[in-house]
Every structure is written in C-alpha cells, then in structure tokens.
Amino acid sequence: MSEEKYQYNTDASETVALFTPDKNEIALYCDDFRRLDLNTDHVIAGDITQAIGWVKAHPVPSAMIVDIDGEAFPMEMLSDLYAVCGPTCKIITLGSAVNLDLYRSMLALGIFDYLLKPVTLDRLASTFASVKKGRIEEMPAGRTIAVTGVKGGIGTSTIAFGMAQVLAGDRRIATGLVDFDRTNGCLGLLAGLQEEAGLDGVLKSEHIDIRFLRRSMNRISDKLAILNQPPGYQSEQERVEQTQIFTLGATLCQMFNQVIWDLPSSQPEGTIDVLSCAQIRILVADFTVVSARNTRRLLQEIGDETDGQRVIIACNTHRENSQAIPREEFEQFIHRKVDVVLPYAGKVIDQILLKGALDISQLPAFQSSVAALVDLACGGRTAVRPKHRLLSRLKASLVRKAS
Ligand SMILES: Nc1ncnc2c1ncn2[C@@H]1O[C@H](COP(=O)(O)OP(=O)(O)OP(=O)(O)O)[C@@H](O)[C@H]1O
Ligand SMILES: [Mg+2]
C-alpha cells in the first residue's frame, strides 16, 4: 500500500482501537477505556480480519490492539494488518500464550508490544503512554495495592490480610504486606506473629535496599512476607520523609509481584504518598452516611483514573447490622458503583484469632468476595475455584465444632 492511501488520524488526541472476538471481554475493555477517558466506540467485537476491514474504512488510529487467541495463523494475519496500518500506527497484540518464539516473531514483524491476558488497567495505561512516547518504557516488576478505610474499625486490615492470603496462598504469587498503622497495627496479630518486624527502623534509615528490607520483614510463608512494627503511640508524630516512602515502595516492588499496603483511615503522614503512586487504590467503606460522605471526599482527592490508577470501592459488612443505608442510596451519593460487597463472616473470626493466625479459607463466603476483590485488583477475571470452596466449608465446619 502506498503512503498516499493511508487516512491518517488528524485529531490532535491519540486514538486507540481494540478488537477482540471474545464477547465477554468487550464490557471489561469498555470499562477500562471509560476509566482511561478513551472512546469506548473503538472497543469492537471482531478478529484481525475485521480489524483490517475497519482500518481500511477509517482514519488510521495511533494504536490498534488485536486479540490473537482465536487466530489459527496469527503471524500471517498480523502481517496483513501491519500492511494496512502503515508506519504511524502501533500494533499491540493481546493473548494468553506465554511463548517466547511467538513474541520474538511479532517483534521482528514490527509489532509494538504483546500484552499477556488478563490485562490490568495500569498495564493498558502504561502501554498507551509508551505508544505516545514511541518506545516501550521500563516497568517495575511489582505492583502496589493500597487498601485504606474511609473510616476506622470497618475491616480494612482484615481485607488487606485476606487479599495477601489469597494472592500468596491460592494464586502462588510473591506478595509483600505493609502494615502502615504505626500506632496500633494488627497485621502481626492476624498473621499469628510472635515478634514484630522493623518498619520503624526502615523509615528512619538513610539507605533502603533489598537486603535491608529482607532482614526487616517477617516471612509468613514461602510467598508472603510482612513489614510492620510493634504498636507505639509516639510513632505517628514522627516525621516520615516522602522520599523514604517512595524508595520503600519502589524497593518492595523489586522484591514482590504484588505489594499490599494497609493504610489506616486516620491517614498518617505518608498515606497520600502511597495512594498517589499505587496502581490500585481500594477504598473500604460500609453502608453508612459517614462512610458515604468520607468516600465522596476521598474520591474527589484521588478518584482520577485516567493515568491507569484504578479505584475500587469495597463495602464490608463488618457487623451483623452494619448496613444503615441501602446500596443504591450509597452509590447515588458517591456518584459511583460499589465494586464488591463483602459479607458478614460472623464471630468466627474472633474464635480463629483466639487460637492463632487468621486463615480466611475457614470463611468461605468472605474468602470468595476477597478473591473477587483480588481479581479486580490484579486483572484475573475468574472467581474462586469451587474445589477450594468445598474444602473451606469442610474446614470451617470443623472449626465451628471445635470452638
Ligand atoms: N466481614 C466481616 N465479618 C465479620 N467481622 C468482621 C468483618 N470484617 C471485619 N470484621 C471484624 O471487625 C473488626 C475490625 O476489623 P479490622 O481491624 O480489620 O478493621 P480496621 O478498619 O482495620 O480497624 P482500624 O481502624 O482499627 O485499623 C475485627 O474484629 C474484625 O474481625
Ligand atoms: Mg486496621
């Protein structure tokens, strides 16, 4: 195709079109596009053949994303797409195969990048940022998930710890957990730790590196380690330098795939710094007017998702009658949908804690909501497997009988 035949996109803003034959994925990609402030009309059901037809009939976008999972001859089809897209359009492929040969062949053909499914919002956003710059930016290995309560005592730490257990235990992902409640942290108790580790020392140190952090953290399992400190009522007054927080966050992301921060609702110094960098910000609330008001306020501060920093609203039923207003009224007030509602787990949590560490597989309904939260945060788009649920129910009934 000669240069003159291309219809270039003359719009000053970047345009992106995404093609996937998987109808179930359309709504999810539309949701991602909406959050990134991109045109959702450009999320289109179709394979590469349809993508080629679309490019011929429209101005060539800045980037074309195509799903290669259903393609019998992906390289052949991509070569045809490359020919019609021309030099200005970056082609990005989506797929499930972890295949280095395929990846290399795509790069050799001129494909800009290959995204492994499921793709998270922050991954999409950083790919689009690379498209704008014309080269792939280096990405940190790990991701930061900030979990914060919009008010105190509503289960933020329980949820943060539950997420870490699902990620490290069920999903076998290297996970770091930071208890940023420096006056009254409870993650050590939830993890059944006898001794607390050295967050305090880390925040005072001038030189944070992987080796130092490894010594300062407590290992809970082969995939889970925690950074916390003994509760101390003076700690909150001590200054925490912003650079310390950034260095700590970045170093943890070199050590773990997912780093969960439990941020207290009182927002001690450093909290907003973590929230401003986190790929995922989970706001834990309950269905009360105070929560609705605080959630709305926090959303005004950190609600912008156009850079790919996803906000997730999780409402936790932390007490039997903790719901004071209907979900619809809560959503109307905060101008957003609640993403996950976590059920009341009963008093069994206290019973478990009296005997040792919290094992959320003993709370099947709560565990499956936490797993849904993990899916939203990490891009997994499947629910907890039934096999685990059966096992968990059995374990839970044994615990009930024993208590
Ligand atoms: N879904 C639930 N079902 C039953 N009990 C729950 C649930 N979620 C939390 N709890 C209980 O609520 C209490 C408070 O939980 P947690 O310490 O996690 O809250 P928090 O928001 O982190 O509190 P703080 O503001 O003190 O940090 C705990 O006793 C916990 O076991
Ligand atoms: Mg807490």
Of 170, 235, 167, 173, the closest CA to residue 201 belongs to: 235
Asked if 88 and 60 touch (Cβ cutoff 8 Å), the reply is: yes
Q: Report the atom number in ligand 1 closest to the C-alpha of 284.
A: 21
Helix-helix angle 74-85:48-57, to 10 degrees:
10
Asked if 313 and 337 touch (Cβ cutoff 8 Å), the reply is: yes
**Rounded distance between C-alpha atoms, residue 178 and residue 260, angstroms:** 6
pTM, full prediction: 0.84
Considering every ligand atom shown, identify the ligand nearest to the alpha carbon of residue 284 and give its number.
1
**Rounded distance between C-alpha atoms, residue 275 and residue 242, angstroms:** 12
Distance 238 CA to ligand 1 centre (A): 26
The superfamily in CATH containing domain 16-133 is: Response regulator (3.40.50.2300)
**Bridge partners (DSSP) listed for residue 66:** 19, 93
Q: What pLDDT is recorded for position 244?
A: 87
Q: What pLDDT is recorded for position 360?
A: 92
Q: What pLDDT is recorded for position 2?
A: 44
Q: What pLDDT is recorded for position 380?
A: 65
Q: What pLDDT is recorded for position 115?
A: 93
Report the number of secondary-structure helices (H) and strands (E) in the chain: 16, 13
pLDDT by residue for the chain (403 residues), tens digit each? 444 455 554 454 468 999 999 888 899 999 999 999 999 999 999 999 999 999 999 999 999 999 999 899 999 999 999 999 988 899 999 999 988 999 999 999 999 999 999 899 999 999 998 988 888 877 777 999 999 999 999 999 999 999 999 999 999 999 999 999 888 888 888 888 876 668 888 888 888 899 999 989 999 999 999 998 877 666 556 678 888 899 999 999 999 999 999 999 988 888 989 998 899 999 999 999 999 999 999 999 888 898 889 999 999 999 998 889 999 999 999 999 999 999 999 888 888 888 888 999 999 999 999 999 999 999 865 433 434 444 444 444 444 444 3
Asked if 172 and 223 touch (Cβ cutoff 8 Å), the reply is: yes
Distance 142 CA to ligand 2 centre (A): 23
Q: Give residue ranges with CB within 6 A of ligand 1.
A: 149, 152-158, 181, 186, 264-265, 316-318, 342, 344-345, 349, 366
Q: What pLDDT is recorded for position 111?
A: 94
Ligand 1 site-directed mutation target among 318, 341, 358, 362, most atoms within 8 Å of CB? 318
Q: Give backbone dihedrals phi and psi of 347, rounded to 5 degrees, phi first.
A: -85, 5
Of 60, 369, 175, the closest CA to residue 360 belongs to: 369
* One-character DSSP codes across 190-240: HTT-SS---HHHHHH-S---HHHHHHHSEEEETTEEEE-----TTGGGS--
Characterize the bridge pairing of strands 218-221 and 224-227.
Answer: antiparallel
Q: What pLDDT is recorded for position 14?
A: 67
Distance 180 CA to ligand 2 centre (A): 9
Q: What pLDDT is recorded for position 303?
A: 84
- 143-378 placed in CATH 1.10.2020.10: no
* One-character DSSP codes across 342-359: EPP-TTHHHHHHHHSS--
**Rounded distance between C-alpha atoms, residue 152 and residue 137, angstroms:** 39
Per DSSP, the three-state class of 12 is coil
Residue type, 136: I
Residue 174, Cβ density class (10 Å: 0-12 exposed, 13-18 middle, ≥19 buried): middle
Q: Whose CA is nearest to atom 30 of ligand 1?
A: 155
User: What are the sequence ranges of the domains in the chain?
Assistant: 16-133, 143-378
